[in-house]
Amino acid sequence: MTEQKNQLASLFAACWKDEALKARLMADPKAVLAEHGMDVPDGMDVKVVENADNFVHITMPATPAGYLQLSDEELSNAAGGRTLAPYFC
């Protein structure tokens, strides 16, 4: 996972320097990711969005398999309890 994060960080840095690359990444992310050694599995779609100074995207993870089968106690233990409030101040 760390290697993939490093690859994405390098790609983002390249996009900051090259508007054409950034436009291609946003228009056809699977192709650009593949060009940079990050193949996307067949059947998986990828969408690239860009944060701005006054607009932030938050990605909500997909519901885990078996989520509805967990008890309230199991959900409480898995959920944590940390608030996001300090991050938006």
* Residue 72 or residue 57, greater confidence: 57
Q: What is the pLDDT of residue 80?
A: 58
Residue 78 in this model has a pLDDT that exceeds 50: yes
38-55 per-position pLDDT tens digit? 999 999 999 999 999 999
How far is 72 from 67, CA to CA, in rounded Å?
10
- pTM here? 0.67
Q: What is the mean pLDDT of residues 66-81?
A: 69
